[in-house]
Amino acid sequence: MEKFELHTPSFRGEIVIGEGAAAERLPALVKGQKNFVLTDSRVYALYPGFFAEYFGKDSLFVLPEGEKSKTFENLGKILRAMTEAGLHRTSRLFAVGGGVIGDIGGLAAALYMRGISCVQVPTTLLAQVDSGVGGKTAVDLAGVKNVVGAFFQPCEVVVDPMFLRTLSPREIKCGLGEMVKYAALDREIFRTLKENRDRLTDLSFLSSLILPCVQHKAKVVAADERETGERKSLNVGHTTGHAVELASGLSHGECVLWGMLLETQLAGKYGVTDSAYAAELCSLVRDALRAQPVSRLNFSALGGFAEKARSDKKNEEDGNICMAVAKSEGKWTLFSLPFAQYRAGMEAIIAKIGEQFPL
Ligand code: NAD
């Protein structure tokens, strides 16, 4: 079991990672206050014993599973249920689920009585390596992802890989997408993934990388909680990834992989990413995209997905498309292009890739 602190200017939180973390930490965390537990329908159906054991007497709110639940309307319903449950300022919300539950649950905790204690219990690989840590909370609104949200640090993140055994291969691949993002930012993770390309769907191998990914994120968030500088690095692949996600409906992690592939090639073309490194990174991203199950993505049917990048939160008011891209091993930079150049660059790259996966 690994335990360490995430210390930001506003907060000091704990992160506990390892098999058995839930059994070790939850009995103490549920004691001493009123609790409110948020989860989704799939997690609740898969783990009835877990909820009965740790949260038997607590108020429980179960959202339908999936991104479609990450709405302002559902946020209102959760806050109403918290009020009806009679929660106080000293109460605690437990968000038990994937990134959707962590994001909307964290936001509800941030808003209720201007902020109550929150514990994140991430249950997907994506949430364990990424979204459960760092205090970004949000809901989607008017077709724009994560447009309403807050920075709000959980008092503890309990990362227990025992939850991962019930994930579908597609959800594992989704987590792999964010792990490859860390490879673009961290030499050690890059080398480990490169040397184990034949194990990209092997859950025990991927689980061994949760700790280094979370340590990398915790270091970045501690240095720049509000994303004014270094934290922007964690958006590698995400500007284009979100555009592909909005246009295709594929999972977040897979779209991050597509975003990394396309943005790295674009940045290579403009001399922003070192060309030998761009080739190496793209080769790893391609291997991850080829990991099972493979999604077929027909770019010509996406109907100008580049347009979707215009609504990205990371863009500035000058109308340019702003991307965080890998520069060389372990180094990153911001890269902006006027929209017309961005779109033309993407179209040229996609024409070369060919219309359909596999690459
Ligand atoms: P998700 O929460 O929708 O979970 C994916 C699916 O896995 C759901 O059907 C869920 O029911 C199921 N699931 C969860 N745990 C399971 C388990 N143990 N076994 C079997 N099935 C399980 O999505 P996600 O991929 O975890 O997260 C994506 C979300 O995270 C997006 O909304 C994205 O915007 C957000 N995100 C947030 C941050 C952040 O920093 N806050 C970072 C990255 C992504």
Ligand 1 centroid from CA 124, angstroms? 6
188 lies in some domain: yes
Mutate to test the pocket of ligand 1, among 131, 214, 238, 244 (most ligand atoms within 8 A of CB): 131
Give me the number of domains the chain comprises: 2
The region that residue 156 occupies, defined by phi over 0 for left and psi between -120 and 50 for alpha, beta otherwise, is: beta
The parent domain of residue 297 ranges over: 172-353
Judge whether 88 counts as a catalytic residue: no
| 49 and 141 housed in the same domain | yes
Look at strands 11-17 and 144-151 and give their pairing: unpaired
Residue where a domain stops, chosen among 106, 131, 166: 166
Give exposure, 5-43, as e/b (b: 16+ Cβ within 10 Å).
ebebeeeebbbbbbeebbeebbeebbeeebbbbbbbebb
Cis peptide, bond prior to residue 293, ω within 30 of zero: yes
* φ/ψ of residue 225, rounded to 5: -60, -40
Q: CATH number, domain at 316? A: 1.20.1090.10
Residue where a domain stops, chosen among 140, 166, 192: 166
Catalytic choice (65, 171, 178, 225): 178
Ligand 1 centroid from CA 136, angstroms? 14
| 199 and 323 housed in the same domain | yes
| 77 and 208 housed in the same domain | no
* SS3 call for 91: coil
| 344 and 249 housed in the same domain | yes
Catalytic choice (92, 232, 235, 343): 235
Contact between 34 and 87 (Cβ < 8 Å): yes
d(CA 103, CA 149): 8
14 lies in some domain: yes
Average pLDDT, the chain: 94
| 267 and 212 housed in the same domain | yes
Q: Please give the radius of gyration of the chain, using alpha carbons only, rounded to the nearest integer.
A: 20
**Rounded to 5°, angle at Cα 182 from 167 and 144:** 70
| 153 and 182 housed in the same domain | no
Question: Per DSSP, which regions of the chain are E strands?
Answer: 2-8, 11-17, 35-40, 59-63, 92-97, 117-122, 136-141, 144-151, 156-159, 321-328, 331-337
98 lies in some domain: yes
Judge whether 226 counts as a catalytic residue: no
Dihedral in degrees, nearest 10, Cα atoms 225, 107, 147, 181: 50
- Residues with beta carbon inside 6 Å of ligand 1? 40, 42-43, 46, 65-67, 70, 97-101, 103, 123-124, 126-127, 130-131, 134, 136, 145-146, 163, 166-167, 171, 174, 252
Average pLDDT over residues 83-100: 98
Q: Kindly report, residue by residue over 305-330, the tens digit of the pLDDT.
A: 888 888 777 777 778 999 999 999 98
Q: Kindly report, residue by residue over 109-133, the tens digit of the pLDDT.
A: 999 999 999 999 999 999 999 999 9
Ligand 1, atom 4, lies closest to the CA of 98
Judge whether 217 counts as a catalytic residue: yes
| 218 and 86 housed in the same domain | no
Residue where a domain stops, chosen among 136, 166, 196: 166
| 152 and 186 housed in the same domain | no
Beta-ladder partners of 141:
144
| 23 and 158 housed in the same domain | yes
64 lies in some domain: yes
Question: Which pair of structure tokens corresponds to residue 98?
Answer: 């994937």
pLDDT at 318: 75
Helices (H), 96-209: 99-111, 125-126, 169-185, 187-195, 203-208
| 232 and 320 housed in the same domain | yes
Confidence bin at 253 (pLDDT 50/70/90): very high
| 214 and 258 housed in the same domain | yes
| 189 and 145 housed in the same domain | no
Q: Kindly report, residue by residue over 328-346, the tens digit of the pLDDT.
A: 998 999 999 999 999 999 9
358 lies in some domain: no
359 lies in some domain: no
330 lies in some domain: yes
* SS3 call for 20: coil
Question: Which pair of structure tokens corresponds to residue 31?
Answer: 């004691």
pLDDT at 79: 98
d(CA 199, CA 23): 29
* φ/ψ of residue 335, rounded to 5: -140, 120
